[in-house]
Structure 1
Amino acid sequence: MKLKLVKALLWLLHWLPFRVMQWIAIPMGSLLYLLIKRRRHIGLTNLQLCFPKWSDTERQRVLRQHFIDMASTILGYSILLHAPENRLRRLIHIEGLEHFNAQQDKAIIMLVPHFLGLDFGGVAYTMDHKGASMYAEQRGVFHDISLQIRSRFNEPVLIKRTDGIRPIVRTLKAKMPFYYLPDQDMGPQQSIFSPFFGVPAATLPMLGKLAEMTHAVVVPVITTVGKGCFISRYYPAWENYPTGDLQADTDRMNQFIEQIATAHPSQYYWLHRRFKTRPEGEPILY
């Protein structure tokens, strides 16, 4: 019953232009910034660790804008769920697709860090291409809605995180591009510590492993919120990657994410406890 009500609300909401949603997101995001104290604390801690030279005022401004951008993205999910394809094509602008097309004869790992527009970039991709991605079980109705959004076009292969690496390897060896979100703290068991803005961050070293095992190329894809639209940018395939050195390959991934987060600071997902797992002997940060 709850799922039906949420989907009905999203159906009503999707009739609004995205620019109107962005206006609504200003008071909505500002209110969330004030009310969700726990996430605000996590976000400000992350920004203090990653941008220590910023003033407190600047960090607060960026995080408040992050909540606003996040609110506009959440409202925009109504469009992803219900809008026809022609409206989605007008909403999501694709740049640099030639970098992806140049690798069509190879296995491709699409490196998709946790920027707010990642699902919009994923839907834009699946409107024209076959592909695969991994998902984690989520609480509440958003899990079903998220799977429905990701499954709308071209029957993508959706792999549960708990299913492990084997289905991903099979997918890549079959030359089906893999939409990969690698940059969350998944605990110490499978992670290595790699600097992220100079702070040791528990990071899965899977990007280099997968590229080496499947002879895949890495093509980064970053989707950000623009004025009245989303912009999904494809970057050139990485040269001389992987190197066979898991530490160096993982460090390169984090360095790339740093560069994009610095260019779009309000749009990286700062509300995740990215530095939850600490090297032995170091204090808890949250």
Structure 2
Amino acid sequence: MKYKFASALLWLLHLLPFRVMQWIAIPLGSLLFFIFGRRRKVGLTNLKLCFPEWSPARRRTVLRQHFIAMTSTLLGYSILLHASKNRLRRLIHIEGFEHFTAVQDRPIIMLVPHFLGLDYGGMGYIMDHKGSSMYAEQRGVFHEISLKIRSRYNDPVLIKRTDGIRSIVRSLKSKLPFYYLPDQDMGPQQSIFAPFFGVSTATLPMLGKLAEMTNAVVIPVITTIAKGHVVSRYYPAWENFPSGDMLADTTRMNQFIEDIAREHPSQYYWLHRRFKTRPEGEASVY
């Protein structure tokens, strides 16, 4: 019942152009910036660690822009849930897809860091292609909406995070490209410490492992929010990866994410406690 009610509201919302949603997001996102003090504190802490050279005023400005961009992204989920393929293609501009087609005879890991447009990039891909991805349980009705969006087209294989690595390996070996989100703190048992913005950061080392186990190539996919549309950009397949050195491979991944976050600082997901797990003896940064 809750899903039907939420879906109906989103159907009404999806009638608005995305550019109008972005206008609405300016006051609404600014309000959320002030309301959600706990998340604001997390975001400002992350930005201070990653951009110590910035002034506090600049970090607050970027985080406010982040809340605004995130709000427009959430409003736009109504389009992902209800819009036709023609409208979705007008909304999601895909660039560099030739990098994907150049290696499509191999297993492909699509490296998708947590930039705000990642679900838009997933929709841009899955509308016309087969694939798989991993998901975590969400709270409330948003979980149902998220799964509905991700499964609208081409019957993708959706793997629970708790299912572990075997399902991912099986998917890759069957030549289903895997849409992989690797950059959140999953705790000390699953992670190794690798530099990210110069900070020793608990990071999943699975990208290199998966590539080695399945002979897969890595294609980064970054989706960012622009005025009135989103841009899903495919990057060239990584060469000499994996290297056989787990730390070097994980560091390379973190460095790539850092480089893109510096290009689009308001669009990386700063509200996650990315530096929660600390090396032994270090105090919490939060």
Question: What TM-score does the superposition give when structure 1 sets the normalisation length?
Answer: 0.99
What's the counterpart of residue 241 of structure 1? 241
The Cα offsets for residues 194-220 of structure 1, whole Å up to 9 and x where unpaired, read as 111000111010000000000000000
Give the counterpart letter for 1:200 in structure 2.
Answer: S
The Cα offsets for residues 156-190 of structure 1, whole Å up to 9 and x where unpaired, read as 00000000000100111111100000000000001
Give the counterpart letter for 2:192 in structure 1.
Answer: I
| 2:6 alignment partner, SS class | helix
**Partners of 1:56 and 1:267 in 2: how far apart?**
18
**Partners of 2:209 and 2:28 in 1: how far apart?**
41
Identity %: 78
Confirm or deny that 1:199 pairs with 2:199: yes
Give the counterpart letter for 1:239 in structure 2.
Answer: E
What's the counterpart of residue 152 of structure 2? 152
| 1:193 alignment partner, SS class | strand
Q: Mapping of 1:1-286 within 5 angstroms? A: 1-286=1-286
Give the counterpart letter for 1:112 in structure 2.
Answer: V
Give the counterpart letter for 1:167 in structure 2.
Answer: S
Shift of 1:7: 1.0
**Partners of 1:121 and 1:185 in 2: how far apart?**
22
**Partners of 1:28 and 1:10 in 2: how far apart?**
17
Give the counterpart letter for 1:137 in structure 2.
Answer: E
Question: What TM-score does the superposition give when structure 2 sets the normalisation length?
Answer: 0.99
Shift of 1:107: 0.5
> Structure 1: 5+ residue runs without aligned partners?
none
**Partners of 1:190 and 1:176 in 2: how far apart?**
25
Q: Which runs of 4+ in 1 moved over 6 A?
A: none
The Cα offsets for residues 212-256 of structure 1, whole Å up to 9 and x where unpaired, read as 000000000000000000000000000000001100000000000
| 2:72 alignment partner, SS class | helix
Aligned length: 286
Shift of 1:2: 2.1
> Structure 2: 5+ residue runs without aligned partners?
none
User: Over the residues paired in the alignment, what is the CA RMSD in angstroms?
Assistant: 0.5
**Partners of 2:104 and 2:284 in 1: how far apart?**
44
Shift of 1:28: 0.5
**Partners of 2:14 and 2:138 in 1: how far apart?**
23
